[in-house]
Amino acid sequence: MKKKVFIALLVLVFCFFSGGIYIARSIDEVITGLENVITLHQVEFLRKDLQNKISVVQTDLLLKDSPHALPIDLFMAHATEMEKAAHVCITCHHTDEVLKTLYHFQDQIDRYMQMLSRVYTIRGEKERVDQEKNGAFAQGEAALAEVEKIVITSSEKISNRITLARNNIAETEHLLFFLISAGPLFLILIAYVFLNKFTTSVEALVDATRKIQQGDLRYRVQEKLPDEFAMLASAFNEMANSLKDQCQHMQQTERLAVVGELAVGLAHEVKNPLAGIKVSIEVLANELTLEQEDKEVFLRIINEIHRIESLLKSLLSYARPSGPAPVSLDLHQLLDTTIKSAGYSLVNPANAAKPLKEIEIVKNFSPEVPHVVADQGQMQQVFLNLMLNAIDAIPAKGVITITTQKESNAATQIIIADTGKGISPENLSKIFNPFFTTKPKGTGLGLAICKRLIELHNGTIHVSSTPGEGTTFYITLPEKQQLQGVSQ
């Protein structure tokens, strides 16, 4: 847009200057044209003047020897004026062709003047004097005829040149009118196009803002806007995306709060009667003499009560997790402890020497990873949950690789990868949803709790999986953060 505004400004300045220069040049051309017309009229006047002066001398010649004859000095003055007028023609013209004609005419005038002189000085018989006089008069007439010829020949040329000059003036005048009328129209058109583009873009953005304002958070600016407006539209769309995410997050938070309230209520309501039931069943199981089969029934009831308690505990943990008690944690030490704890699940009760599954745990810890600030118990809960899931995913034999590494953006990444059966794509997007599980006896809260705990630590958790090859979880925790309790 800046570029276009600059170009438009340049075009305006160019139009202004070029228009100004053209108008100045046109005025100059018109003035030159008018000067030419005046000069051409002057030429006509000079030729008429020359004709008149020759006629005056001819008249003087005819009046010579008559009572009306002029004194010789006056006659000479007339003849000299005629000669000067003839000479002016030569000083005016420059083309060789015209000059040749005029030099010939000048010779005629010179000859005429010599003959006039002769008429005024010769004395002799009447016949000779008359002959000289007639000769001079004939020469004068020839000169007049020559001027007439030049006038007729050049009149057409002069007329054409005057017409041409007038046409040029008229053409320039039309062009000027065109420029004066079309120039502003052109500028208005450019301004209209420019403003139209501007207002269209602004209108599109205003419309989008109104849509968002009206609650349509899915609305995005679809129009292809020009230049900086495209950037603005892109930013607007990003903002809308963010707004939508925030809204969803808020809704999720609200939902969790509701679930938490429900869970707490439910736990309180169920926990105490359940404890009574549990104690009662245990008393009955201990005090009554029961057959082995009946004892097993009592044990199953107690186990189911334990499951209900565990479920209630998980539900409380997800809905209303206890606030983190952050400490500076050595992740590697915590992971080692967790690996050890997870290892207990592989112990075969029947044969301690032979584990239930052949799982190799590979530790790929980076020495650069620093301590992180986190709740030790919650972190251990997360790692243990993921490791147990990994053990569950491996059918009989496999590898679990635990990697730690320092990320560039002042964060630490923990990667837990298994070579288990993997997760299908349609389930992959749901695995962090509460109560989603593929296990027959799972609560579907394990990974949801993991995600919730990691987010409580301002971290992220992602998963990638290929069915048949394995699953990898990526946890990223910030190295330094301000959590309730301890800061680093």
Residue 134 engages another protein in binding (rule: CB under 8 A): no
Rank residues 31 and 72 by Cβ distance to another protein and give the closer one. Answer: 72
Helix H or strand E segment including 373:
strand 372-375
Residue 117 engages another protein in binding (rule: CB under 8 A): yes
Q: Taking the mean position of all CA atoms in its chain, how far away is CA 28?
A: 45
Rank residues 73 and 368 by Cβ distance to another protein and give the closer one. Answer: 73
Residue 113 engages another protein in binding (rule: CB under 8 A): yes
Residue 252 engages another protein in binding (rule: CB under 8 A): no
By CB under 8 A, name the one of 67, 124, 367, 395 that touches another protein. 124
The sign of the dihedral angle between the CA atoms of 405, 411, 412, 417 is negative
Residue 150: CB minimum distance to another protein, A: 23
Structure tokens at 362: 């590979």
By CB under 8 A, name the one of 123, 291, 349, 468 that touches another protein. 123
Rank residues 73 and 96 by Cβ distance to another protein and give the closer one. Answer: 73
Other CB atoms closer than 10 Å to residue 315's CB: what's the count?
A: 22
Instruction: Compute the distance between CA of residue 460 and CA of residue 407 in angstroms, rounded to an integer.
Output: 13
DSSP character at residue 487 = B
By CB under 8 A, name the one of 66, 95, 121, 351 that touches another protein. 121
Residue 409 engages another protein in binding (rule: CB under 8 A): no
Rank residues 32 and 80 by Cβ distance to another protein and give the closer one. Answer: 80
Residue type present at position 246:
Q
Rank residues 114 and 248 by Cβ distance to another protein and give the closer one. Answer: 114
Instruction: Compute the distance between CA of residue 157 and CA of residue 97 in angstroms, rounded to an integer.
Output: 14
Contact partners, residue 314, CB within 8 Å, separation at least 6: 443, 445, 446, 449
Residue 139: CB minimum distance to another protein, A: 13
Instruction: Compute the distance between CA of residue 53 and CA of residue 61 in angstroms, rounded to an integer.
Output: 12
Length of the chain in residues, anyone? 488
Rank residues 30 and 50 by Cβ distance to another protein and give the closer one. Answer: 50
Rank residues 114 and 487 by Cβ distance to another protein and give the closer one. Answer: 114
Residues 82-101, mask of contacts with another protein (x by CB under 8 A): -x------------------
By CB under 8 A, name the one of 10, 12, 34, 122 that touches another protein. 122
Contact partners, residue 168, CB within 8 Å, separation at least 6: 29, 33
Residue 137 engages another protein in binding (rule: CB under 8 A): no
Instruction: Compute the distance between CA of residue 238 and CA of residue 244 in angstroms, rounded to an integer.
Output: 10
- 3-class DSSP assignment, residue 97: helix
Tell me the window of 116-124, 163-171, 207-215, 392-400 that interacts with another protein (CB under 8 A).
116-124
CA angle, residues 390, 392, 397, in degrees to nearest 5: 80
Tell me the window of 115-123, 174-182, 227-235, 275-283 that interacts with another protein (CB under 8 A).
115-123
The footprint of another protein on this chain (CB under 8 A) covers a number of residues equal to 18
Residue 73 engages another protein in binding (rule: CB under 8 A): yes
Cα dihedral angle (364, 366, 371, 374), rounded to 10 degrees?
-40
Q: What is the contact surface with another protein in residues (CB under 8 A)?
A: 72-73, 76, 79-80, 83, 113-114, 116-118, 120-125, 128
